[in-house]
Structure 1
Amino acid sequence: TPERSRPVMALPLGGSSTDDAELYQLASAELQRLQRQYRIMERDREAYQDEMRTCIAKQRKMIDMLTREKQELLLAARINKSEKQETKNASYKTRMEILLKQQDLIEAKIKSEQLQLRELDAQ
């Protein structure tokens, strides 16, 4: 935990050598405190960077996984649509074959009736 910063004391003018020694000790103590606080903050910053790198790596993995899943779903949707279209096409084909057979039967019937009409007209 960061220590509270102490107010910087004003230097007295024209002090004795004991005052200078006390000031030097105070300045040294303040410097040590600030250096300790700096080291703590630096470790905290490094720990935060490591934590964020890990978090970002997890997020990237999740994005990659979701992107792959999206592509798979889009492909499945296209395949499903294609299969439905194929089923519809098969149904149309079957219906068309039935209609063509009916047309052939009707055309054959028409030809038969036209032949009968010609025979009747010829009599």
Structure 2
Amino acid sequence: GKAEQENLFHENDCIVRINDGDLRNRRFEQAQHMFRQAMRTSIIWFHVVPAANKEQYEQLSQSERNNYYSSRFSPDSQHVDHRGVTSAGPQALPRASRLNPPPEHADPHPRLLPHSAHAS
């Protein structure tokens, strides 16, 4: 398909979001439905964690979840900032094509890849 032609994904990459939908912790059928819904739109945004960064991303996600749950029930919880690693902030910039940084500069944060669903 088009994603293969444009070399957007590589083996063992992990798609964690599609458009506004979080694919993490979803059953296969739910994720499949989200992909089908996205295919009906003119532009699809894939939030991809490259395979080389997957382990680091999972560690960050796990520690973020642990921090959230431990601070959620603490008296100081109103002072905790719960910004997500996967937010489209400066650490996850839109990319027109996939970039693979050298391992020593590997960014644990996922990349946003715009993908047009319809050929022009």
Name the TM-score class by shorter chain.
Answer: under 0.3
Instruction: Give the greater-gyration-radius structure (CA).
Output: 1
TM-score after normalising by structure 2? 0.21
TM-score after normalising by structure 1? 0.21
Higher helix share: 1
The higher-RCO structure (CA 8 Å, 6+ apart) is 2
Higher strand share: 2
